[in-house]
A and B are shown apart, each in its own frame.
Chain A
Amino acid sequence: MTTERCSPNWVLLCLMSAGLLAWLTLEAVSIAPNRLVAGTPHRAHEVHGWWAALLAGLPMLGVMVLAWRPGTRRLQAALALVVGLLVAMPLWLATAVMALADPDIPQARLGIGASLWLLLFLWLLVLIELRTRLNLSRAFGWLLLLPVVFAWWLSLSFWLEPLALYREYQGRSDQFASAIAYHLTLVGAAVGASLLLGIVLALCMRRYAGMRKAGFGLLNVVQTIPSLALFGLLLAPLAWLSARFDWLASMGVSGIGWAPAWLALVGYSLLPMVRNTYVALEGVAPAVIESARGMGMSRRQTFLQVRLPLALPVVLEGVRITTVQAIGLTAVAALIGAGGLGTFIFQGLGQAAMDLVLLGALPIIGLALVADALLGALAERLRHGGTP
């Protein structure tokens, strides 16, 4: 194996030494008697003692050693170690609960501290680095996360009841499910509308050069308006419209709520959507179009059978960008009463309850990642066999 002689993988070394440092110096967990009182922070060695903390640091050290001479086998071993670490984290939290929680205070809450958040982040980066180095498929990367998800599910259902994040969830499990559904509906409606509108606009722009300049100019301007300002700008005209037309009001259109949020999301989504669709349609090789016409395909056949299918992967790229962007923006839309996961974030900010903020923020990150992965995989599939 020629890779045996290659130079150290500095990415892994840096990430892991940062992780080790965080593990030994930053607070790992905090414990609070109830929701209102700030918790007492505990560093890793304050939970189970120095020996246990150092022992837990060994796998990280192991990854660093393996990264020093990164052959394929060593990187595979490192991958196994990192997955193991990710699986171990919820289990370690469970032991921390047992060590720290006072059985006399049933309302005690365990907060996840800076070091664990940082470790989670760093380890995921390491996972990505290893996946790229080892040339593993996207699907396999997701498969690796299965045991991790399972470990969290197991710990949450048996031992991690005092976890503050979990307590916040338990208090709002109904709201949580409906918030996710609402969030996704809003994103879906906005992306769907902007896709339709985007295709129509891109087609018009291809036909009329004047419209192209004006259209992209306008969309660029919309893109530069801060999201909060755009929500605010839509407030007055929508309120006026719904006061003026009863049928709009009966649909639920008003200055606040889903209507301005949806309009703003569509506005933001249009630029990436139109640009990608336009570039995709224009980017089809002229020789291919020429031969389609030369073989006797009609304009309609050329568009539907040749130009559109060849443009589709890039159009889908636009859908991907737009969806990820809209999932994030919808969080802000909660401010104008649009609902969704953003509600938890702003409630949490108002009550200075960080765990409630996380209850809103973490699923948003999760949704964005999943949407990104799914749409990316779909685009890759469509590209398959097509253009190299």
Chain B
Amino acid sequence: MIELFDVTKRFGSETAVDGISLRVEKGEFCALVGTSGCGKSTTLRMINRLIEHSEGEIHLDGQPVRSFNEELLRRRIGYVIQNTGLFPHWTVARNIGLVPRLLKWPRGKIQARTDELLGLLGLPREEFADKYPHQLSGGQAQRVGVARALAADPEILLMDEPFGALDPITRQTLQRELQDLQARLNKTVVFVTHDMDEALALADRLVVMHQGRIVQQGRPIDLLHDPVDAFVESLLGGMDRGLKEASLTCVSERMAPFGPRLLASERIPYRAPLSQALSVMLWHRVERLTVVDDEDIPIGELSLRRLLGAKPS
């Protein structure tokens, strides 16, 4: 659990973070979003003390972060940054084993953990363990970056725009992988991004920052429905909010059992978001889709009426 109490950071006369309070529960995925320079990165880096806060208190499981030795603190917290920050002169395996080595784990345990992580992130050990970072693609390098952050099995993971430098397709793949990973590992994650779709897709809790302050925080769906001001509304997509909301809801939540009519010719997987279903309808000019399961077997149908559902209150 991470708690920030009225935390302020000043650089000289400039206030980068202005009295923010925040509580991230254990196992919660919290996304800090906002325009560049809003203080979200600074907030993140104050948690692992790469930047020292000027005022207020930051607690980790009820203990102030200043009560820890800063190096020991950081070894307990996973950290992923945009440009991976992999050491170019170390192999992938050595990079991943960095924190366990700092923690003086026995050699065999480090090796086993490295192999486990490579497997977890879909990087075959035989192919990747001895490669150097410059031999990896952007997506592979960032997977190694995530593996390195997870190496010592930290409870907390801080991620600073980890997918910001990747192409859209790789980015989506990695977002999905991170979602699966989080479902399995259940870490406490603080994730900084300026990509609202990314934040909406991943976060349990959305924290919108503007000029060093928290403007609004809550569940993504609540923010979409009830933005506190015009800034949050535009950040969440303005007129596109309908589609963003649709992207948060699964087809399976709105599908109906088969009706008396014939199967609709166009299909949609039950796990796809509603926005995708809508897109398929628009593309094929149809009002009805057949919902299929993972094996492509029809399990229900989705009509435009049901897709639209009840108007959100």
Interface residues of A (CB under 8 A from B): 285, 287-288, 290-298, 301, 306, 309-310, 385-388
B132 lies within 8 A of A385 (CB): yes
Question: Which of B79-87, B105-113, B203-211, B291-299 contacts its partner?
Answer: B79-87
Contact A387 B72 (CB under 8 A): no
Cβ-defined contact, A288 with B79, below 8 A: no
Whether B65 sits at the interface, judged by CB under 8 Å, is: no
* Cβ B88 vs Cβ A293 within 8 A: no
How close is B48's CB to chain A, nearest CB, in angstroms? 6
Q: How far is the CB of A285 from chain B (nearest CB, A)?
A: 7
Q: Is the CB of B75 within 8 A of A296?
A: yes
* Residue B256 at the chain A interface, CB threshold 8 Å: no
Interface residues of B in 57-111 (CB under 8 A from A): 71-76, 79, 81-89, 91, 98-99, 102
- Please tell me if the beta carbons of B102 and A301 are within 8 angstroms of each other in the complex: yes
Q: Which of A296, A309, A388 contacts B71 (CB 8 A)?
A: A296
CB < 8 Å A-B pair total: 68
Indicate if the CB atoms of B74 and A287 lie closer than 8 Å: no
In contact, A296 and B99 (Cβ under 8 angstroms): yes
- The smallest beta-carbon distance between B60 and chain A, in angstroms, is 14
Q: Are B75 and A291 in contact (CB-based, < 8 A)?
A: no
The reply to whether B87 and A292 contact each other, CB–CB distance below 8 Å, is: yes
Q: Evaluate contact between B85 and A294: CB separation under 8 angstroms.
A: yes
| Given A287-B83, A291-B81, A387-B88, A296:B74 Cβ within 8 A | yes
Q: Does B50 contact A (CB under 8 A)?
A: yes
Choice from B74, B76, B132 contacting A294 with Cβ under 8 Å: B74
Name 9 extra pairs, CB < 8 A, besides A285-B83, A288-B88.
Answer: A287-B81, A290-B81, A294-B79, A295-B75, A295-B79, A296-B73, A310-B88, A310-B89, A385-B89
Q: Point out the residue from B75, B85, B98, B102 that lies within 8 Å of A287, measured CB to CB.
A: B85
Partner of B84, one of A287, A295, A296, A310: A287
Contact present for A298 and B81 (CB under 8 Å): no
Nearest B residue (CB) for A388 = B134
Interchain residue pairs with CB less than 8 A apart (5): A288-B85, A292-B87, A295-B102, A296-B72, A301-B102
CB distance from B248 to the nearest CB of A (A): 31
Chain A neighbourhood of B71, CB < 8 A: 296-298
Which 8 interchain pairs have the tightest Cβ spacing? A291-B85, A296-B74, A296-B75, A294-B79, A287-B83, A386-B89, A388-B134, A287-B85
**CB-nearest residue of chain B to A386:** B89
Question: A26: shortest Cβ distance to chain B, in Å?
Answer: 51
For B145, the closest partner residue in chain A by CB is A291
Contacts of B72 in A (CB 8 A): 296
Decide yes or no whether B148 CB sits under 8 A from chain A: yes
Q: Contact check, A386 vs B88: say whether CB atoms are below 8 A apart.
A: yes
Q: How far is the CA of A306 from the CA of B102 in the complex (A)?
A: 14
| Chain A positions within 8 Å of B102 at CB level | 295-297, 301
Contact of B48 among A288, A294, A298, A385 (CB under 8 A): A294
Q: Which A residue's beta carbon lies closest to that of B45?
A: A294
- Distance, CA A290 to CA B145, complexed state (A): 13
Asked whether, in the complex, the Cβ of B85 is within 8 Å of the Cβ of A386, the reply is no
A293, A306, A387 interface centre (most CB from chain B within 10 Å): A293
When chains A and B are docked, how far (Å) is the Cα of A295 from the Cα of B148? Answer: 9
How near does chain B come to A284, taking the closest CB pair, in angstroms?
A: 9
Most chain-B Cβ atoms within 10 A of its Cβ — which of A292, A294, A301, A387?
Answer: A294
**Chain A residues with Cβ under 8 A from B87's Cβ?**
288, 291-292, 306, 310
Residues B74 and A293 in contact, CB atoms below 8 Å apart: yes
Task: Report the bound CA distance from A256 to B88 in whole Å.
Answer: 48
Tell me the complex Cα distance, A388–B135, Å: 9
Bound Cα distance A387, B134 (Å):
7
Instruction: Report chain A residues within 8 Å CB of B83.
Output: 285, 287
- Once bound together, how far apart are the Cα atoms of A262 and B82, in whole Å? 49
Q: Which residues of A contact B86 (CB under 8 A)?
A: 288, 291
Q: How far is the CA of A294 from the CA of B75 in the complex (A)?
A: 8
Residue of B nearest to A309 (CB): B89
CB distance from B130 to the nearest CB of A (A): 10
CA distance A298 to B70 in the complex (A): 9
Q: Nearest Cβ in chain A — how far from B277, in angstroms?
A: 40
- Bound-complex Cα distance A288 to B134 (A): 13
Find chain A residues with CB under 8 A from B79 CB.
291, 294-295
Please, which residues of chain A bring their CB within 8 A of the CB of B134? 387-388
User: Which residues of B sit under 8 angstroms from A309, Cβ to Cβ?
Assistant: 89
B15 to chain A, nearest CB (A): 23
Q: In the complex, what's the smallest C-beta–C-beta distance from B183 to chain A, in angstroms?
A: 25
Alpha-carbon distance between A57 and B93 when the two chains are bound, in angstroms? 59
Residues of A within 8 A of B75 (CB): 295-296
A294 CB, nearest partner CB in chain B, Å = 4
A192, B191: Cα distance in complex, Å: 49
Chain B residues 129-146 with CB under 8 Å of chain A are 132, 134, 145
Instruction: Indicate if the CB atoms of B99 and A295 lie closer than 8 Å.
Output: yes
Nearest Cβ in chain A — how far from B259, in angstroms?
56
Asked if residues B132 and A386 are in contact (CB atoms below 8 Å), the reply is yes
Report B148 CB to chain A, min CB distance, Å.
7
Name B1-55 residues within 8 Å CB distance of A: 48, 50
Complex-state Cα separation, A388 to B133, whole angstroms: 9
CB distance from B65 to the nearest CB of A (A): 13
Residue of A nearest to B70 (CB): A296
Q: B residues within 8 A CB of A388? A: 88, 134
Q: Are A290 and B88 in contact (CB under 8 A)?
A: no
Looking at the assembled complex, report how far the CB atom of B160 sits from the nearest CB atom of chain A, in whole angstroms.
Answer: 9
In whole angstroms, what is the CA distance A303 to B102 when docked?
A: 15
Please give the distance in Å from B164's CB to the nearest CB on chain A.
12
The residue in chain A whose Cβ has the minimal distance to the Cβ of B85 is A291
- In Å, the complex CA distance between A345 and B169 comes to 68
CA distance A281 to B57 in the complex (A): 35
Cα separation A228 to B83 with both chains bound (whole Å)? 51
Q: Contacts of A301 on B, CB cut-off 8 Å?
A: 102
**In the complex, what residues of B have CB within 8 A of residue A288's CB?**
85-88
In the complex, what's the smallest C-beta–C-beta distance from A154 to chain B, in angstroms?
A: 45
Alpha-carbon separation in the docked complex, A292 to B79 (Å): 10
Q: Please report the C-alpha to C-alpha distance between residue A340 and residue B140 in the assembled complex, in whole angstroms.
A: 56
Minimum distance in angstroms from B112 CB to a CB of chain A = 20
Tell me which residues across on chain B come within 8 A of A296, comparing CB atoms. Answer: 71-76, 99, 102
| Nearest A-chain residue to B89, judged by Cβ | A386
Instruction: List residues of chain A with CB within 8 A of the CB of B91.
Output: 385
- B117 to chain A: closest CB distance in Å? 14
